[in-house]
Amino acid sequence: MKTLSTFETEEQERDFWSSHDSTEYVDWDRAQPVSMPYLKPSVQTLSVQLPESILDGLKTIANKWNVSYQELLKIFLAERIEKELGTQ
Which range of residues forms the domain containing residue 26? 1-31
- What pTM, to 2 d.p., does this model score? 0.55
Give yes or no for a contact between 88 and 82, defined as CB atoms under 8 angstroms apart.
yes
Q: How many domains does the chain have?
A: 2
pLDDT confidence of residue 87: 65
Banded pLDDT at 11 (limits 50, 70, 90): very high
User: Looking at this protein, which amino acid is placed at residue 59?
Assistant: K
Distance CA 58, CA 55 (A): 5
Task: Give a yes or no: residue 37 inside a domain.
Answer: no
Task: Give a yes or no: residue 71 inside a domain.
Answer: yes
Banded pLDDT at 28 (limits 50, 70, 90): very high
Cα–Cα separations (whole angstroms), residue 86 to 74, 81, 82, 83? 18, 8, 6, 5
CATH number of the domain encompassing residue 88: 1.10.1220
